[in-house]
Amino acid sequence: MVSVPPKIDLLPEHLIDQIKAGEVIERPGNLIKEILENAVDAGSTKIELSIKNNGLDLISLKDNGHGMRKDDLPLAFSRHATSKISRFEDLYKLRSFGFRGEALASIAAISKLHCISQTRESKTASEIKIEGGLTLYHGERQTGSGTHGTELQIQDLFFNTPARLKFIQSQQAEKTFIRKIVFAFILSRPEIEFQIKFDDADKDIYPGRETLRERIEDIFPKAKETILHSERFYENNELTLFLIPGSFKAPVKLQNIFINGRYILDKQLHRVLSNALDATFGGDDFHYVAHFHLPPDTIDVNVHPNKTVIKCLEISKMISLLTSTVKELGSKRPVRESQIP
Ligand code: ADP
Ligand code: MG
């Protein structure tokens, strides 16, 4: 028996956004990463972040970046709307974290969101309220001039995607993941002041610093004398590596690799680094912060919607840089008394 074929229809926009949101915002930490990226891309020098119940109840972010104009505000929350690229070739000389124009649309599709934004020139702030992808309010209010930046309040994440909510791991796993993300920004942009608040705890303040070393010393004030640090070049590739003995505690284990300022989750590079550390330091435990600076046309960041995977053309050069830098740091490390025969 031949059955009647069902009619094919285009999905409504807000449903597409909800489906796409699954790729970009798998868990609250992904959302926090996206809004921190936007605040950095907006040229902010101060970012305040407050997180309640691991982001499920409230995530609020306030930055002092360039803000958004009233007419642009609804566009920012539309899919594939970006101010960061206009041609495909731009992807290979990116200076911004963002380029896909889908984070805010994804976030708005699965939360209750309120955004207030003001540009430097404006005497009014623009405001938008969106719930589950549907705009409830778009307007402006007088503020007088002098302030600029963007404030985002995101409540009840996943309220309309209960299946996603069920997949959220244990409270502890989420908390650890969020802290890893937040510290990835603290460790990639020392010049920006970060104020971070979890639930009802006091806020942690990391003042803006000129160098990454100073920022690392703010995180590990007692480790100053023991931090190992090297900068090495190999042709056009540069690596800056910091090692901090694991006996010094941070809110979370810091093992971060950045490529051109972007936090990446690359199993191969982490494995190479941890093997090199084992071989050189005989199994001692370290926090590490590794920053690669590579020619933008040798990397491809357009691999996954959450932008934490990067394809690198010169991966073998990066691996030799990592191993040779660890060896060099091994020879710099002061001999401990217990090792003197
Ligand atoms: P992308 O970052 O890939 O462009 P997003 O959905 O994250 O996409 O953001 C869409 C647009 O909204 C950005 O291109 C930017 O113009 C604007 N925007 C987002 N967040 C901010 C912010 N904190 N300050 C100023 N502009 C912002
Ligand atoms: Mg973005």
Per-residue pLDDT tens for 33-67?
999 999 999 999 999 999 999 999 999 999 999 99
Q: Please give the pLDDT value at position 87.
A: 83
Q: Please give the pLDDT value at position 1.
A: 64
**Is 300 strand, coil or helix?**
strand
The ligand 1 site (C-beta within 6 Å) comprises 34, 38-39, 42, 63, 65-68, 76, 81-84, 98-105, 150
**Is 130 strand, coil or helix?**
strand
Identify whether residues 187 and 244 lie together within a single domain.
Answer: no
| Residue 284 predicted with pLDDT over 60 | yes
Question: How far does residue 98's CA lie from ligand 2's centre (Å)?
Answer: 4
Residue 168 phi, psi (nearest 5): -60, 130
Question: How far does residue 34's CA lie from ligand 2's centre (Å)?
Answer: 5
| Residue 340 predicted with pLDDT over 50 | no
CB-count burial class (<10 Å; 0-12, 13-18, 19+) for 337: exposed
Q: Say which CATH number the domain at 90 has.
A: 3.30.565.10
Specify if 337 maps to a domain: no
Identify whether residues 191 and 110 lie together within a single domain.
Answer: yes
Identify whether residues 170 and 312 lie together within a single domain.
Answer: no
Identify whether residues 246 and 273 lie together within a single domain.
Answer: yes
Structural domains of the chain, count: 2
Q: Hey, whose CA ends up nearest to atom 15 of ligand 1? A: 83
Specify if 97 maps to a domain: yes
Identify whether residues 155 and 252 lie together within a single domain.
Answer: no
Identify whether residues 69 and 137 lie together within a single domain.
Answer: yes
Question: In one letter, which amino acid is 312?
Answer: C
Residues 327, 250: contact at Cβ < 8 Å? no
DSSP string, 162-216: HHHHHH---HHHHHHHHHHHHHHHHTT-TTSEEEEEETTSPPEEE---SSHHHHH
Residues 97, 37: Cα–Cα separation, whole Å: 6
Residues 237, 317: Cα–Cα separation, whole Å: 8
Identify whether residues 150 and 239 lie together within a single domain.
Answer: no
Question: How far does residue 38's CA lie from ligand 1's centre (Å)?
Answer: 5
ipTM: 0.99
Residue 70 phi, psi (nearest 5): -55, -45
Looking at the CA of 37, name the nearest ligand: 2
| Residue 144 predicted with pLDDT over 80 | no
Please state, in angstroms and as integers, the Cα–Cα distance from residue 334 to each residue in 224, 327, 330, following that order. Answer: 14, 14, 9
Identify whether residues 36 and 158 lie together within a single domain.
Answer: yes
Identify whether residues 186 and 96 lie together within a single domain.
Answer: yes
Write out the residue range of the structural domain in which residue 125 sits.
13-206
Q: Encoding tokens for residue 175? A: 């908390």
Neighbours of 195 (CB within 10 A): 15
| Residue 130 predicted with pLDDT over 50 | yes
Residue to substitute in 35, 38, 59 for testing ligand 1 pocket (most ligand atoms within 8 angstroms of CB)? 38
Looking at the CA of 106, name the nearest ligand: 1
Q: What does the mean pLDDT of the chain come to?
A: 90
Mean pLDDT of 293-300: 90
Q: Please give the pLDDT value at position 334.
A: 63
The continuous run of DSSP H or E covering 221 comes out as none
**Is 287 strand, coil or helix?**
strand
Specify if 114 maps to a domain: yes
pLDDT digits over 154-166, tens only? 999 999 988 888 8
pTM reported for the whole predicted model: 0.92
Residues 164, 148: Cα–Cα separation, whole Å: 35
Specify if 60 maps to a domain: yes
pLDDT above 90 covers what percent of the chain?
63
Identify whether residues 140 and 231 lie together within a single domain.
Answer: no
Q: Say which CATH number the domain at 322 has.
A: 3.30.230.10
Identify whether residues 128 and 184 lie together within a single domain.
Answer: yes
pLDDT digits over 235-274, tens only? 889 999 999 999 999 889 999 999 999 998 888 899 999 9
Q: Hey, whose CA ends up nearest to atom 8 of ligand 1? A: 101
Specify if 239 maps to a domain: yes
Specify if 215 maps to a domain: no
Identify whether residues 46 and 97 lie together within a single domain.
Answer: yes
